[in-house]
């Protein structure tokens, strides 16, 4: 069991399964197929990210450094939150990027989403947490890898 | 009122207090909360009022977008300048679709296209030709000056505006682009500030010949991610003048850095405006280094996965023009195809080929004899967004798409080919 502390961007208490990407997550490439096809869950469609390609990330804690790619990113995050197929939590090891930040703010202000977002958890967090691990998140930004 | 940290002026406080209505309040709340995440001390005025939006497509699934557009237009809210927007997703005249594709596009995917364009018009769309990812070209005319602060999105346009034009714009998301255009302010952080424009990578190009723009950009994007690279050695191949050829190269290079990574600004030694003026003073003290030689470019090129169902299949559809081609690029491809077909003794291209450029560039091209030369050889010219066309289950099932765009490769199952290889395929020289 190991504990990490990050900055709270969107608070919440949650416990569940982690899905881990060690490289930047391309938001559009990751979510587009599932969103476009109105799927009940997101199966990652980013061919360039073998860490998470083909994995179901709905209702999970997506652990990542940052997001990358098209500037549709924020709108995509807002949309998957509105559709209710979003990861329950976005756990960033680095400072959140502008596109993901837009998405989280849009989801909060316009969709009243309960998505959780914490950033600056540190490199060691991503080196520690593995896909399939259970993680516990508390509203003060503490993330425990159980 | 929301909890916020930045300093706001009276006008901004009044909006946050709801004095300009609930919708404007929500718009500014979004901008302020977004800026707070990045430690922005204040909002700064958008000095180039004309905005470029990334969202051009009326995807039925984007319900939050339409709900927001409805609120904005109901409140009679408009952007302060005019809007250019990314390319349309459909062009049945020049990009033929079978009935199944049309059904999927019209009923399943882009079912809100007409309504969405009506919203854009109400919000300040420039004109019906305003749909392109290359709004900054002379023919289109949404061209910021050096130092201008923008509220743009579209990763390839933002990186071009920052790097080649010397404007100042963060990698805004769709919606935030529009919100900044409405309130006329953006948060002051990142690429809007001098500090944020410093390079944290020194990239040395040590290749034996001019690198393929799309592969070089991809390599740098994947390495530096969202950081700012200062690139040495490229001026040896491109020269020191930002002429049309060089700008076309940098357009494609930048799009690859932005889509294969998250680059919003690059500096090219002796070439881009800030690098010319400020040189190595743009480089942060602890900048990391990345050397790109022929072997590294080849490694990156070979790393691209082939996502076709049958990996050894032949391409049956080619897209050239993501980002949209410049006028010069259209002319160069025309000459290359005419010459290539002459060599192979063919009258028409061997694979269905679609070239894409902005409506204004296409209009200019159509006024020349080259347009007829190109279309007589079976090439179609469109202003569609190749990504929007290719990224659906029907297209994936029907087509083995070949492209020279690293952006299109990233967001679809299209296979990347170098320019010369693609030319050989479409003129029947080899590899079909």
Contact A72 B393 (CB under 8 A): no
pLDDT grade for B320, boundaries at 50, 70 and 90: very high
Using an 8 Å CB-CB cutoff, list chain B residues near A69: 155, 258-259, 262, 410-411
What is the overall mean pLDDT for chain B? 95
pLDDT grade for B100, boundaries at 50, 70 and 90: confident
Mean pLDDT of the region B97-107: 88
Mean pLDDT of the region B142-151: 98
Please report, for chain B, the start and end positions of each structural domain, with discontinuous segments joined by +: 10-192, 197-302, 317-426
B19-33 core/surface letters (b: 16 or more CB in 10 A; e: else)? ebeebbbbbbbbbbb
User: What CATH number has the domain bearing residue A25?
Assistant: 3.50.30.10
Contact A101 B154 (CB under 8 A): no
- The A-side interface with B (CB below 8 A) comprises 9, 24, 26, 28-29, 32-33, 35-38, 47-48, 65-75, 78-79, 82-83, 96-99, 101-103, 105-106, 108-111
Instruction: Note down the domain range covering A36.
Output: 2-145
Class of the domain covering B10-192: alpha beta
Query: Would you state the pLDDT for residue B378?
Result: 98
Contact B33 A67 (CB under 8 A): no
The pLDDT of residue B334 is above 60? yes
- Count CA within 13 A, CB hemisphere, residue B165: 27
CA-CA distance, B69 to B63, in Å (whole number)? 10
Task: Report, as ranges of residue numbers, the positions in chain A whose pLDDT lies below 70.
Answer: none
Using an 8 Å CB-CB cutoff, list chain B residues near A71: 54, 153-155, 158, 171-174, 177
Q: What contacts B341, CB < 8 A, 6 or more positions away?
A: B347, B348, B349, B377, B427, B428
Q: What contacts B91, CB < 8 A, 6 or more positions away?
A: B382, B383, B384
B218-243 confidence digits (pLDDT tens): 999 999 998 999 999 999 999 999 99
Query: Would you state the pLDDT for residue A35?
Result: 83
Residue of A nearest to B256 (CA): A69
Inter-CA distances, B329 with B30, B281, B361, Å: 39, 34, 10
The pLDDT of residue B248 is above 90? yes
Q: How many CB pairs under 8 A join A and B?
A: 128
Residue of B nearest to A39 (CA): B61
Query: Would you state the pLDDT for residue B430?
Result: 73
Query: Would you state the pLDDT for residue B389?
Result: 87
The pLDDT of residue B375 is above 70? yes
Mean pLDDT of the region B268-282: 98
A88-127 confidence digits (pLDDT tens): 999 999 999 999 999 999 999 999 999 999 999 999 999 9
Return contacts of B138-146, CB within 8 angstroms, 24+ apart: B139/B327, B139/B358, B139/B360, B139/B361, B139/B363, B139/B364, B140/B84, B140/B358, B140/B360, B140/B361, B141/B360, B142/B50, B142/B52, B142/B82, B142/B84, B144/B48, B145/B48, B146/B273
Alpha helices in chain A (DSSP H): 27-36, 73-83, 98-111, 123-128
* CB-neighbour burial class of residue B152 (10 A; exposed 0-12, middle 13-18, buried 19+): buried
Q: Cβ of A35: how many Cβ atoms within 10 Å?
A: 21
pLDDT grade for B432, boundaries at 50, 70 and 90: very low
Q: What contacts B59, CB < 8 A, 6 or more positions away?
A: A36, B109, B110, B112
Q: Do domains B10-192 and B317-426 have the same CATH topology?
A: yes
B179-217 confidence digits (pLDDT tens): 999 999 999 999 999 999 999 999 999 999 999 999 999
Query: Would you state the pLDDT for residue B393?
Result: 67
Query: Would you state the pLDDT for residue B414?
Result: 94
Residue of A nearest to B26 (CA): A109
Mutate to test the interface with B, among A6, A70, A120 (most CBs of B within 10 A): A70
B13-56 confidence digits (pLDDT tens): 999 999 999 999 999 999 999 999 999 999 999 999 999 999 99
Query: Would you state the pLDDT for residue B425?
Result: 96
- Residue A10 backbone dihedrals phi, psi, to 5 degrees: -145, 110
Contact B155 A71 (CB under 8 A): yes
* CB-neighbour burial class of residue A117 (10 A; exposed 0-12, middle 13-18, buried 19+): buried
Mean pLDDT of the region B159-177: 96
- % of chain B beyond a pLDDT of 90: 88
Query: Would you state the pLDDT for residue B128?
Result: 95
Mutate to test the interface with A, among B24, B34, B64 (most CBs of A within 10 A): B64
Residue (of B404, B339, B334) closest to B375 by Cα position: B334
Fold category of B317-426 in CATH: Aconitase; domain 3 (3.30.499)
CA-CA distance, B365 to B372, in Å (whole number)? 10
Q: How many structural domains is chain A composed of? A: 1
* CB-neighbour burial class of residue B330 (10 A; exposed 0-12, middle 13-18, buried 19+): buried
B392-412 confidence digits (pLDDT tens): 767 777 789 999 999 999 888
Give the DSSP H or E segment for B334: helix B327-344
Query: Would you state the pLDDT for residue A72?
Result: 84
ipTM: 0.93
Q: Which of residues 207-266 of B touch A (CB under 8 A)?
A: 225-226, 258-262
Inter-CA distances, B185 with A44, A99, A146, B101, B180, Å: 35, 18, 44, 41, 5
Contact A82 B176 (CB under 8 A): no
Contact A66 B225 (CB under 8 A): yes
């Amino acid at each position: 069991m190991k504990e990490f502390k990050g900055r709270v961007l969107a608070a919440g208490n949650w416990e569940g399964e982690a899905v881990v990407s060690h490289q930047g997550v391309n938001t559009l490439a990751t979510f587009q197929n599932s969103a476009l096809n109105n799927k009940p869950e997101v199966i990652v469609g980013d061919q360039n990210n073998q860490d998470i390609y083909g994995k179901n990330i709905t209702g999970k804690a997506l652990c990542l450094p940052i997001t990358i790619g098209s500037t549709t990113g924020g709108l995509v995050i807002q949309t998957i939150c509105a559709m209710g197929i979003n990861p329950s939590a976005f756990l960033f090891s680095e400072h959140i990027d502008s596109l993901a930040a837009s998405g989280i703010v849009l989801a909060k202000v316009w969709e009243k989403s309960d998505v959780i977002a914490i950033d600056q958890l540190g490199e060691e967090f991503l080196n520690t947490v593995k896909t399939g691990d259970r993680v516990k998140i508390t509203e003060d930004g503490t993330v425990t890898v159980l | 009122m929301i909890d916020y940290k930045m300093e706001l002026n009276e006008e901004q406080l009044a909006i946050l207090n709801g004095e300009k209505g609930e919708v404007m309040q929500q718009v500014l709340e979004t901008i302020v909360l977004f800026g707070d995440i990045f430690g922005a001390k204040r909002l700064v005025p958008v000095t180039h009022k004309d905005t470029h939006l990334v969202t051009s497509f009326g995807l039925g699934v984007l319900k939050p977008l339409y709900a927001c557009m409805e609120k904005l237009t109901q409140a009679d809210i408009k952007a302060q300048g005019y809007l250019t927007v990314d390319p349309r997703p459909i062009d049945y005249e020049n990009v033929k679709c079978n009935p199944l594709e049309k059904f999927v596009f019209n009923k399943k995917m882009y079912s809100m296209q007409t309504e969405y364009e009506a919203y854009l018009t109400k919000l300040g769309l420039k004109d019906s030709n305003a749909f392109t990812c290359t709004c900054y070209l002379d023919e289109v005319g949404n061209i910021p000056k050096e130092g201008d602060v923008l509220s743009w999105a579209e990763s390839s346009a933002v990186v071009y505006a920052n790097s080649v034009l010397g404007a100042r714009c963060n990698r805004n998301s769709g919606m935030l682009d529009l919100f900044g255009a409405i309130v006329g302010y953006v948060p002051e952080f990142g690429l809007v500030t001098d500090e944020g424009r410093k390079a944290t990578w020194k990239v040395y190009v040590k290749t034996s010949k001019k690198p393929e723009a799309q592969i070089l950009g991809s390599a740098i994007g994947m390495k530096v991610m969202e950081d700012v690279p200062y690139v040495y050695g490229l001026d040896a191949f491109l020269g020191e003048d930002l002429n049309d050829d060089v700008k076309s190269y940098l357009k494609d290079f930048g799009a690859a850095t932005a889509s294969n990574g998250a680059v919003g600004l690059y500096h090219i030694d002796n070439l881009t405006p800030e690098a010319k003026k400020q040189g190595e003073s743009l480089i942060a003290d602890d900048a990391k280094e990345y050397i790109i030689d022929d072997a590294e470019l080849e490694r990156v090129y070979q790393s691209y996965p082939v996502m076709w169902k049958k990996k050894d299949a032949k391409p049956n559809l080619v897209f050239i023009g993501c980002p949209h081609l410049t006028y010069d690029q259209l002319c160069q491809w025309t000459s290359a195809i005419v010459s290539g077909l002459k060599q192979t003794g063919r009258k028409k291209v061997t694979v269905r080929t679609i070239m894409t450029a902005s409506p204004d560039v296409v209009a200019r091209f159509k006024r020349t004899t080259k347009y007829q030369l190109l279309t007589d050889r079976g090439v179609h010219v469109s202003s569609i967004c190749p990504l929007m066309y290719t990224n659906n289950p029907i297209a994936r099932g029907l087509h083995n798409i070949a492209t020279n765009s690293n952006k299109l490769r990233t967001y679809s199952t299209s296979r990347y080919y170098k320019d010369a290889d693609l030319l050989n395929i479409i003129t029947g020289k080899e590899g079909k």
